[in-house]
Amino acid sequence: MTSGWEDQRLEAAFAARATSATRPIADLTDLTIERLRREPRPRSAVTRLGASAGLAAVLAVVVIAVIGIGFRDRDPLASVSPPGTATIGSAGSPGPSAEPASLPAKSVGAAIAMRDASNESGEIRVAGWLRGGVPVPCPAPMRPYNPTQLWCPQALPWIVESVADSGVGRLNESPSGPGIQPSFALVDADALPSLMFGSAPPAAPVEITVTGHFHDRRATLCSSPGDCWTSFVVDRIDSIGGIARPVTTSYDLAVQAEKGTTSSGLEIPPPTGPAEQFDPAVMSQGHRLAVLSRRVMSIGGLVDAEPALAGGWAAIGTATTVTSITAVETEEGSGPPLPITFLFPDRGPQFYEMTADGPAVAGNLAVQAFPDLLARVGRPLTVSATIERRDHALDATELLVAGWAWAPGSLFCTLIRPGEPVLDQCPSTLTWLADREPPPVKGSAFPRPDGPAINLVIPPESVNLARLDTKPTQVAVLGHFDDRRAAACPSGLVERCRRNFIVDAILDPGRLALDATLATTVHPAPSNIPKGTASWAANAAGLPGTDRPNRLISAFPIAVAALGALEPDLAETSSTAGIDAVWLVHFLDQDVAGNAIVRTRLVIDADPAKGPAQVFDVTADGMSPALSAAP
C-alpha cells in the first residue's frame, strides 16, 4: 500500500466514506416492492426461505437475513458455497480473455448448470458432440417465428456431452446424458452436416464447438416463453469435426443476396457491400466488442429474427435488406460477456443496437469520404477480418483496414537486410495495426497489441504517413498482401513476405481520401535533379489530372542507382542502362477480376519538352512497355 495508507487507515476511510453517503432507503424499499409486484411470481421461492407472505415479506426476509447474519459476524467459510461454478467472463474467468475464441469451452453439463444457476444471457462456449435429429414428418412452421423457439424439436439435432450419451441407434430417444437442443436459427446452419436434421439410420455424432447463450431477450415474445427462456441460441459455430471456422455471414432463407431475388421471386436489390464492411462500426462501439456472426436479411427475414419488429420499424426507410451483426463484449471484469446485436439497414446513414425495447440508434455510418475511394476498395475492414482474408484468401487485392496504429519512432535497427522492401524486419516488426487500443505501457516500453493485430510493412514509396505516431492512433490503412516483390525475398522467406501487409497510405479515418498533393511530393529525395515533374510523370503513366483523385498513390523520382531498394528486380536492367533517374508511379487500378490492386509504372526521366516519355509496367515478371499509358 502507498506510504501512510496502511490497512487501518484504509478501512477507516472506507467506513467514513460509507457513512457519509446519503441513504434514501425508505423510498427505495417502496419502489423495489412496487417493482417486484410486477414480476412473475417465482415458484417455491418463498417456501425455500420458510416465509409464506407476499412480496413485502420476501423483501423483509431478505433484509432480516442480511441484518441477522451480520456483515462482520460471518458464517465460517465451510458454510458458504464452494468455488467452481464461475460465470464466463465474470471475475471467475482467468487471464485477459479478449477473443470470443478464448472463452473457455464448457462441457454440455457445465453449460446446463450455468443455465440453471442464473438468468444471465452471457455467452457460453460449449464443446460437445452434435447428434442428429430423428426423421419425422414436421408441419410447416407457423408464424411468427422466434429464434428461441424450436419447431418440431424431434427433427432437430442435439449437442451432447459424449458419444456414449448420444442415444444414437435408439430412434425417438433423447440422449441418455447431458444434452441441449440448440437453435441454429441465427447462424449459417448450412455449415452443419445435413444428416443432422434427421436421417435413417441416424448419422454418427460429430465434434462441435459453438458459442451462444441461454435466456435470450426474444424468449418473452415466444408462444412458450418458459421453454424459449432455456433455449440455447447459437451465435457462432466455432468448429465442426475439429476444424475451426472463421466468422461467417449467413443469409436468411428469403434472401439470396448474390442473385438479388427472394424465393418468392420478388426482386430485392443486393446489399451495397459485403457484410464485413460494418465490422469497424461495431468495433467503434467500444466495450472491446468482437464479432461473432453476421446475417443478411430481407425485411421478412428481419422480422423472423427479431420478432419485436413485427409491428413495423419506421427507421427502416427504403432499405430492402438489413445486415445484423452479433458481437460479444470481451472487456474483462465488466460482467458476463453479453451478446449485442447491431442492425444496419442497407443504404441507411445510421445503425442500431437491438434491445428488448426495440432498436436504439447506436451510431452514424456517414464518414467524410471521397466516394470513389470507397467504391474502389470498399468500406474499411477490421484487422481481424483482414487476418481472416490473409489466412483464407491470400491475394494482392487492395484493402482499407481501420484500427489503431503505432510505430516505434526513432529507433536504431540492427541486422537489416537491405533491398528487401516487403520483408518484415525492424522497424516493421514493431509497427502495429490492431483492432483495439493497446494497454498503456510505462517508460520507454513499446506498446504491445491486445487482440488481433498485424505488423505494418512500410516500403519507401508509401505516402500519407502523417497519421502514424508512436502513440496509438486511430487510422485507416490502405495496403495489400501478396506484394509482387515477395518473390525477391530471400529463399525460404517468400511465403512469409507474401503474408506481410504492405502499406500504401495511412489515412485519417474521418477523411478517407488519398491526398494528391502529398502524392506528387518528391519522396524519397533523389540523388540527382530530375528533368521531369511529378505531374508530367503521372500524365505519362496514364493518369491525367482528372483521373488522379483517390487513384494516384504516389509519383516520385529516384536515382537508378537506388532503384534496387524499392524494386529489387529492377536493380540491373537493360532498360535503365545509362539512365540517371526514373519516376515510379503507383496508382489504384483493377485486375481482370475487377479487384482493386496497386499498379506500378516506371517512367524514364526526361525533359517534358523533348518528345514522348518512355513508360513501363512493373510487374512480377519485370518491366514491359506500358501499352495503356499515355503517349
Partner 1 sequence: MDAVYRLTNAILGDEADARDAAQEAFVAIWRQLPRLREPERFEAWLQRVAVNAARMTIRSRSRRRVREIPSSTVVARAERAAGAPPDDAAILDAALAALPVDQRAILVLHHLEGRPVAELAVILEIPEGTAKSRLFTARRALADAIEQDRGHRR
Helix (H, G, I), strand (E, B) or coil at 507: strand
Q: Which is nearer to partner 1, 269 or 439 (CB)?
A: 439
Dist. CA 228–CA 220, nearest whole Å: 8
Please report how close the Cβ of residue 50 comes to partner 1 at its closest, in angstroms: 8
Please report how close the Cβ of residue 548 comes to partner 1 at its closest, in angstroms: 41
Q: Helix and strand tally (H, E) in the chain?
A: 14, 26
Which amino acid, 291?
V
What is the rounded end-to-end Cα distance, in angstroms, of the chain? 76
3-class SS string, 30-66 = HHHHHHHHCCCCCCCHHHHHCCCCCHHHHHHHHHHHH
Within 13 A of 130's CA, how many CA atoms are on the CB side?
27
Please report how close the Cβ of residue 175 comes to partner 1 at its closest, in angstroms: 24
Angle between helical axes of 55-69 and 25-37 (0-180°, round to 10): 130
Q: What are phi and psi for residue 405, nearest 5 degrees?
A: -120, 150
Please report how close the Cβ of residue 85 comes to partner 1 at its closest, in angstroms: 6
Please report how close the Cβ of residue 72 comes to partner 1 at its closest, in angstroms: 5
Within 8 A by CB and 6+ apart from 57, the residues are 46, 51
Cα 85 versus chain centre, distance: 29
Q: Which is nearer to partner 1, 32 or 261 (CB)?
A: 32
Please report how close the Cβ of residue 219 comes to partner 1 at its closest, in angstroms: 14
Q: Which is nearer to partner 1, 118 or 261 (CB)?
A: 118
For residue 207, count other CB atoms closer than 10 A to its CB: 14
DSSP class of residue 577?
A: T
The H-or-E segment that residue 432 falls in is: strand 432-434
Q: Which residue do the cell numbers 445484423 mark?
A: 324
331 in Cβ contact with 288 (< 8 Å): yes
- Alpha helix locations (H) across 321-478? 371-377, 383-392
542 in Cβ contact with 601 (< 8 Å): yes
Q: Which is nearer to partner 1, 91 or 366 (CB)?
A: 91
Which amino acid, 405?
A
Q: Which is nearer to partner 1, 82 or 265 (CB)?
A: 82
Q: Which is nearer to partner 1, 68 or 169 (CB)?
A: 68
Dist. CA 94–CA 317, nearest whole Å: 45
Angle (CA) 418-424-426 rounded to 5° is 70
Q: Which is nearer to partner 1, 75 or 267 (CB)?
A: 75
Please report how close the Cβ of residue 71 comes to partner 1 at its closest, in angstroms: 5
Helix (H, G, I), strand (E, B) or coil at 398: coil
Please report how close the Cβ of residue 453 comes to partner 1 at its closest, in angstroms: 23
DSSP class of residue 435?
A: S
Q: Which is nearer to partner 1, 70 or 137 (CB)?
A: 70
Q: What are phi and psi for residue 36, nearest 5 degrees?
A: -65, -30
Dist. CA 28–CA 34, nearest whole Å: 10
- Alpha helix locations (H) across 38-150? 45-49, 55-69, 108-117
336 in Cβ contact with 120 (< 8 Å): yes
Q: Which is nearer to partner 1, 2 or 517 (CB)?
A: 2
Please report how close the Cβ of residue 44 comes to partner 1 at its closest, in angstroms: 5
Q: Which is nearer to partner 1, 327 or 558 (CB)?
A: 327
Q: Which is nearer to partner 1, 116 or 572 (CB)?
A: 116
Q: Which is nearer to partner 1, 56 or 308 (CB)?
A: 56
Dist. CA 113–CA 84, nearest whole Å: 11
Q: Which is nearer to partner 1, 99 or 331 (CB)?
A: 331
Q: Which is nearer to partner 1, 35 or 511 (CB)?
A: 35
Please report how close the Cβ of residue 42 comes to partner 1 at its closest, in angstroms: 5
450 in Cβ contact with 288 (< 8 Å): no
Q: Which residue do the cell numbers 499515355 mark?
A: 630
Q: Nearest CA to 268 among 280, 281, 244, 251?
A: 251
Please report how close the Cβ of residue 225 comes to partner 1 at its closest, in angstroms: 14
Please report how close the Cβ of residue 195 comes to partner 1 at its closest, in angstroms: 37
Q: Which is nearer to partner 1, 1 or 243 (CB)?
A: 1
Dist. CA 506–CA 464, nearest whole Å: 6
Cell of 615: 513508360
Q: Nearest CA to 144 among 304, 358, 363?
A: 304
Please report how close the Cβ of residue 340 comes to partner 1 at its closest, in angstroms: 9
191 in Cβ contact with 210 (< 8 Å): no
CA-based R_g, the chain, Å: 30
Please report how close the Cβ of residue 316 comes to partner 1 at its closest, in angstroms: 23
Please report how close the Cβ of residue 2 comes to partner 1 at its closest, in angstroms: 4
